[in-house]
Structure 1
């Protein structure tokens, strides 16, 4: 630093002491600066006040010399103390050079920067809130500082800032959320702990409604839940549990649709805690939001169905998944079989395309295994109906659901309980939405016939229930029996011709015109003949099927028909 340079109104003695390597001498200089600034405040001399702050900032705090930087930091803190309540007028100029020193390679300098900023914030209190984002940004970096003294200093400043936010009603949550959303994806355990601690604080402030912005941070929270540190995982469980309590308390203000796919993703993770917690959330979402969740059914089933085959090591996940599955199934009603016009549902937010966020994402009180995950499933599903909510359309995307069910039934590696659940879903859909389901029957029929070779009697029974419903449903009655099945079961058409007399009898039977016939009517449609002919062909080509299952299948099919 040039000793000849004029630093007025700072005296040469003050300048010399600020540059001294000894802390005590720099402290004496700070006291002189405080006295000088107090005089300027008394005189209302803002020009000189700004000049002092600018000099301390540019010539000292941002100097190339470490001792000068240390002097500048303590000098800026002294200015803040002298300004008192007026410090709010100069906060930008006071804070920015100090935050720059947070990045200094010298750990002692980073510590002094924490100390200086603590004094500035302590004096300004609520006036620092307009600068909260830059303060939070700096603190989030220091939370992971390798030096224990710096970490300790940053924690002290962090506690002070939390107290200020808690006692103020002027916190800009909207402006803060983008920064929180960015920082929540940090992989550093200390930064994660810092983030979680702030979310807990913000959740506890009555005037701050963090629930409105939960879709912005939910994915990041679930990622933190997978942290290797036990303490961080526990803190994250608490945060998620608090959010779920709020959701149950105020379901009408929750953006269920914006979070559905986030849960779908985390319900499929290999981490047991994340999967169980996400599945518990999914259970609550389905029961609270009701038909709002229907557009996400294919994704939910993709996540839930494999869990139904879990063994006792993952019993908790299996039980919650089973509740999700049952709850979702109950949402499908005969209304969904009406022409493809979206059904209105009471919900505040418009629903995004359910597949959009699936492509973008990767990825406890009542929110996890220590909470209410074991709560029993009630037969009635609680669906919220806020009086002032807008009506948004809900459509059952049957194509996607059938595709998922077909895929799971075709996979021979899938467990028995999952296969049974798939068949129950198919049966339910044929009962509730027969018209729309028969559009998919030709693609489903081959795999349903193939499932008759399953090793499990229970799977075969459920399969026969589906086939019986297909064969007897009025929705399947048509003059054209259609293709008989998939390419692997093709046979000579002359062998498979449905007898004309039988077809005529089928179509002219009293009470079976169009769709006026009850689904339980025993009169068979063309699929019954297709089933019987294909069963005979399979038995002739697969002797084992005939010997082991033949009598069982014929007997059960006859029983289904008679019922």
Structure 2
């Protein structure tokens, strides 16, 4: 049955060691599938795809696997507008090839999915989670050629996602969150790239999910790579600007992260964290009342920091914090404030004041 659909000579060439022969055989497959699609014979098309999967991409021979991948891409090109109904057969074997032990097979898997994606565009969003996971791993591949191929595929996937109305940010965030503390520099660049791209899409609310990956971005500020530090800082600066322009922000969850990062051993991380805290105190006002004790605990060490920029921002933040009227009914915890540094509030020769705290007598 298979031989009747694809000539034996084409099948032999599809597994040839020479790329040109495999490529020419793939063109033959494209033509065959195009004719079958025009005739509406999707049963035979499924037979062709199963053959390419079972006899080629699942083969123990690397050249067979390479031929199977280029064949699946060619079949997709031949299907054109009919490709969507066969994606459940076509895409999985390509994704499985991303972890092949042979780097050339991984390379051709990137090439195949790139060509498949160009044909089906938004229809393959249903595989996005698996594709994102694969791209994340390939971004740190040991073979530079595979890395380059993965970067090209990544750019195309980003283009498709930004123009698609089927992409789910709610499903994407858990994938992002669980990878944000990875230390590999290539993966970090990959993740920041996705954060930046998605944040630029008007219909995607990345700011609303910022607490889920904010700590990971702060973690990258101390990376040994200047480029990664710069990319993380740029992303954080953009988000802070968005926060300033947003009418509704969840300051609480992020305040907890900032308080921890204000105690970082890395100077740039401390400065960024205390700068964010300063803006939060200005913007969040009474929303931050339950976090006053933690914020104060973060500010006090920074007031005497060895870095002048940090000292200046910390002192300004302290003044802003003192100017906010706080009420125990709003969650203002006097006992927690008093416990900071054992009740010692003498900083730079001045006593911190709680004069605006309703029901509490100032020192």
Q: TM-score, normalised by structure 2?
A: 0.95
- The alpha-carbon deviation at position 407 of structure 1 amounts to 5.5
Deviations 1:316-368 (A, max 9, x none): 111111122111222244x44xxxxx3xxxxxxxxxxxxxxxxxxxxxxxxxx
| Runs of 4+ more than 6 Å apart | none
Q: Given the alignment, which residue of 331, 347, 352 partners 1:395?
A: 331
Q: Distance in 1 between matches of 2:21 and 2:322?
A: 76
Structure-1 separation of matches of 2:184 and 2:120: 31
Tell me, yes or no, if the aligned pair for 1:53 and 1:76 is still in contact at 8 Å. Answer: yes
Larger Rg: 1
Q: Give the secondary structure class of the aligned counterpart of 1:64.
A: coil
CA distance, structure 2, for counterparts of residue 407 and residue 20 of structure 1: 79
Q: Is the 8 A contact 1:7 1:55 kept in 2?
A: no
Q: Within the alignment, does 1:406 sit opposite 2:336 as a pair? A: no
Aligned to 1:456: none
1:69 aligns with 2:65: yes
Count of residue correspondences: 363
Q: 330, 342, 349: which is aligned to 2:323?
A: 330
Structure 1 residue 274 corresponds to structure 2 residue 269: yes
How far is 1:24 from its partner? 1.4
Would the aligned equivalents of 1:18 and 1:26 in 2 still touch at CA under 8 Å? yes
- State the match for 1:290 in structure 2: 285
Pairing 1:96-135 to 2, within 5 Å after superposition: 96-135=92-131
Q: Indicate conservation of the 8 Å contact 1:294/1:328, yes or no.
A: no
**Counterpart for residue 560 of structure 1:** none
Match of 1:9 in 2: 5
Instruction: Calculate the TM-score normalised by the size of structure 1.
Output: 0.62
User: Is the contact between residue 141 and residue 147 of structure 2 (CA under 8 Å) also seen in structure 1?
Assistant: yes
Per-residue CA shift, 1:27-73, capped at 9, x if unaligned?
12111111111111111112111221122112211221111101100
TM-align CA RMSD: 1.9
Q: Higher helix fraction: Structure 1 or Structure 2?
A: 2
1:432/1:173 Cα in 2 relative to 1: closer, same or farther (>3 Å)? closer
Alpha-carbon spacing, 1:290–1:432, altered in 2? closer, same or farther (3 Å): closer
In structure 2, the CA distance between the partners of 1:8 and 1:257, relative to structure 1 (3 Å rule), is farther
Going from structure 1 to structure 2, the CA distance change for 1:398 and 1:12 (only over 3 Å counts) comes to same
8 Å Cα contact 1:144/1:188 also seen in 2: yes
- 1:210 maps to what in 2? 206
TM-aligned CA deviation for residue 433 of structure 1: 4.3
Would you say the 8 A contact 2:136–2:187 is kept in 1?
yes
For the pair 1:260 / 2:190, whether they are aligned, the reply is no
- 1:231-284 Cα shifts (integer Å, max 9, x gaps): 11111111011111111111x221111211011111110111111111111111
The alignment status of 1:32 with 2:28, answered yes or no, reads yes
- Cα gap change, 1:7/1:59 in structure 2, threshold over 3 Å: closer, same or farther? farther
Q: 1:169, CA displacement in angstroms?
A: 3.3
Where does 1:192-207 land on structure 2 (aligned, <5 Å)? 192-207=188-203
Aligned: 1:58 with 2:54: yes
* Aligned counterpart in structure 1 of residue 40 of structure 2, from 41, 44, 47: 44
Q: Secondary structure at the match of 1:253?
A: coil
- Aligned pair partner of 1:317 in 310, 334, 346: 310
Is 2:158 the counterpart of 1:158?
A: no
